Amino acid sequence: MSATGISICMKTAAGTMADALAKIPDVEIDPEGTFKYILVRVKVKDGDANKDIVRGTKSAEYHNHIFEKVHPAMEALGMECKCLGGGKIEHNSQEKKLRVFGESTGFGKADHSVSVEKLKGAFSDYEITWSDDKK
């Protein structure tokens, strides 16, 4: 195969991976309650394309339990991921409110302003607030 052919194949593969990255939901959180969440940077392996995603669930006793589910799922898609920090989300679906606060002992505090921007994209009709308070 010529150098041009290899270059085209690499661009096509990179395009496909960027498409796969775009298909990963920005936000996956529980529909109700107060629970731990993490902010994760997902990156195309051997590439520059990346995006931040928010994952949160009541089923996680610790923040790393969320990451232990997200990491293998992203690797299966050919992605690398890194936890940027964590906190808690209070989700009140009746009042359409989300509150982001707190921090992860293991991963440190996520940049809640970034997390809130992601949440606004998924919950555009919600009132979404954040604070650096622990509770």
d(CA 131, CA 133): 5
- pLDDT bin (cut points 50, 70, 90) of residue 4 is very low
Residue 40 identity:
V
Q: How far is CA 72 from CA 2, 54, 102, in A?
A: 35, 16, 26
Q: pLDDT tens digit string along 42-93?
A: 999 888 899 999 999 999 999 999 999 999 999 999 999 999 999 999 999 9
Residue 87 identity:
G
Domain ranges of the chain: 18-131
d(CA 109, CA 101): 9
- pLDDT bin (cut points 50, 70, 90) of residue 135 is low
Do 34 and 91 meet the contact criterion of CB atoms below 8 Å apart?
yes
How many Cβ atoms sit within 10 Å of the Cβ of residue 95?
Answer: 9
d(CA 100, CA 106): 18
- At 93, give phi and psi (nearest 5°): -75, -25
Do 27 and 118 meet the contact criterion of CB atoms below 8 Å apart?
yes
- pLDDT bin (cut points 50, 70, 90) of residue 2 is very low
d(CA 21, CA 44): 7
36 annotated to bind ligand: yes
d(CA 69, CA 105): 18
Q: What's domain 18-131's architecture?
A: 3-Layer(bba) Sandwich (3.50)
Residues annotated catalytic, as ranges: 63
Counting residues of the chain whose pLDDT is more than 70, the rounded percentage is 87
